[in-house]
Amino acid sequence: MKSYRKELYFNLPTRRAYVNITSQVQQCINESGVKEGLVLVNAMNITASVFVNDDESGLHQDFEKWLENLAPEKPHNQYNHNGYEDNADAHLKRQIMGREVVAAVTNGKLDFGTWEQIFYGEYDGKREKRVLVKIIGE
Amino acid sequence: MKSYRKELYFNLPTRRAYVNITSQVQQCINESGVKEGLVLVNAMNITASVFVNDDESGLHQDFEKWLENLAPEKPHNQYNHNGYEDNADAHLKRQIMGREVVAAVTNGKLDFGTWEQIFYGEYDGKREKRVLVKIIGE
Amino acid sequence: MKSYRKELYFNLPTRRAYVNITSQVQQCINESGVKEGLVLVNAMNITASVFVNDDESGLHQDFEKWLENLAPEKPHNQYNHNGYEDNADAHLKRQIMGREVVAAVTNGKLDFGTWEQIFYGEYDGKREKRVLVKIIGE
């Protein structure tokens, strides 16, 4: 069994943002030499998300509006977590969007449907954050 | 290490529906010959979901009502994604319900609690959709 | 390839509660002898959750308030599932919080970011519930 590990780094200029990381994950699979296996991609920070959805800017605007409705950032003092911090909403938003994606590796490629793309979802940006890519297989 | 791959196909007559796919996933495990490992089951379309919950029709009616409240289908023009499409709500609903399930395979069986069942959740049906089953182990 | 399986047991005195199980999962990894691989941690009951977030009591109070707003327990008769049961809200809450966590094992350790902790989330307690830990790797 082969295994592979890499960290991806992000430092986004806005509090919230979406970054398509599909090609970076495929590059990891290439480097790993794994032809058949599983790839785990997870946020290492608990105010961020990794998920699969559509690479369409209108939808990303819908995510922003929808998540702000379900778990609004402000007022900050509506959350007990925000005594010394202001990011409780980010911890909640990431529960809806998810921490991780597990995807199949088949014949050395991400085994995806036509429109599947992997995104890093940032909910508390303006500082360095990390994503872990772990691959196991043969 | 063994690996196995299969696609399941769905073409449901309604926009939203739930299908219990537990026995189909167990059949894949049987075909794979894997006794100890992991099985990944994921929607290959980004307006559908794979998740584990109860096979109880009242609960599925509750899902319908609850998701329509959290991410209503209509009016279609409330979503930026819906310029040429009408399925933004399906992209949002699937974030709550989840893209994938990873389950343990133990002694050749889905290693499940008493009431765990795997469902395909359709949020934009009336056309062919796919689910990927990938199994690795020994 | 090595594989390992263990069940963790919970019997919590309240309907809803959060328990940090990170050290128990690390103990499983130690027992497994796996140095490089994946660990799956999933609720075996469909009214409970396993997820990764912050070990901060204010945030857990925010989870309680937030989930009660998105999927209120009462009135029980608002849900079709609640003919003979009263836990439909628990089935819904667990969809937001998630059934499972898949984490990387690297050099025999949970490969986590600084603040990542694994929680068992109980939404229908006062009875015995189970969590499955399955590890594969080498």
Instruction: Please spell the DSSP secondary structure of chain B, one letter per residue.
Output: -EEEEEEEEE--SSSSEEEE-HHHHHHHHHHHT-SEEEEEEEESSTTEEEEEE---HHHHHHHHHHHHHHS---SGGGSGGGGS-S-HHHHHHHHHH-SEEEEEEETTEE---TT-EEEEEESS-SS-EEEEEEEEE-
Token digits of residue C38: 């994946």
**C contact chains, 3+ CB pairs < 8 A:** A, B
**Over the stretch C59-93, which tens digit does the pLDDT of each residue have?**
999 999 999 999 999 999 999 999 989 999 999 99
Instruction: Report the pLDDT averaged over residues C50-56.
Output: 98
Q: Which residues pair with A122 in a beta bridge?
A: A17, A48
When divided into structural domains, chain C yields a total of 1
Residue A67: closest C-alpha in chain B:
B92
Give how far Cα A65 sits from Cα of A13, A71, A91, A113, B78, Å. Answer: 19, 10, 17, 27, 10
pLDDT of residue B23: 98
Q: How far is C56 from chain A (nearest CA, A)?
A: 7
Residue C47: closest C-alpha in chain B:
B53
Instruction: Report the pLDDT averaged over residues B87-92.
Output: 98
Give how far Cα C10 sits from Cα of A132, B39, C20, Å. Answer: 30, 25, 12
pLDDT of residue B50: 98
Mean pLDDT across chain B: 98
**Over the stretch A23-34, which tens digit does the pLDDT of each residue have?**
999 999 999 999
Instruction: Report the pLDDT averaged over residues A10-15.
Output: 98
pLDDT of residue B123: 98
Longest dimension (CA), chain A: 51
B84 HSE (CA, 13 A, CB side): 1
pLDDT of residue B9: 98
pLDDT of residue B12: 98
ipTM: 0.98
Put residue A63 in one of left, alpha, beta given phi > 0 → left and psi -120 to 50 → alpha.
alpha
**Over the stretch A37-94, which tens digit does the pLDDT of each residue have?**
999 999 999 999 999 999 999 999 999 999 999 999 999 999 999 998 999 999 999 9
Confidence of residue C47 (pLDDT cuts 50, 70, 90): very high
pLDDT of residue A111: 98
R_g (Cα) of chain C, nearest Å: 16
Q: Do B113 and C70 touch (CB under 8 A)?
A: no
Confidence of residue C14 (pLDDT cuts 50, 70, 90): very high
Name the burial class of residue A55, with classes exposed (0-12), middle (13-18) and buried (19+) by CB atoms within 10 angstroms of its CB: middle
pLDDT of residue C110: 98
Q: Do A96 and B96 touch (CB under 8 A)?
A: yes
pLDDT of residue C48: 98
Tell me the pTM.
0.99
Confidence of residue C29 (pLDDT cuts 50, 70, 90): very high
pLDDT of residue A10: 98
Q: Do C79 and B98 touch (CB under 8 A)?
A: no
Mutant choice from C10, C95, C135 vs B, greatest count of B C-beta within 10 A:
C95
The Cβ of residue C122 has, within 10 Å, a number of other Cβ atoms equal to: 25
Longest dimension (CA), chain B: 51
Q: Which CATH number goes with the domain that contains A8?
A: 2.60.120.460
Q: Which residues span the domain enclosing A115?
A: 2-137
Which residues have CB under 8 Å from B48's CB, separation 6+? B10, B90, B94, B120, B121, B122, B123, B124, B129, B131
Cα separation of C80 and C85, whole Å? 10
Name the burial class of residue A80, with classes exposed (0-12), middle (13-18) and buried (19+) by CB atoms within 10 angstroms of its CB: middle
**B contact chains, 3+ CB pairs < 8 A:** A, C
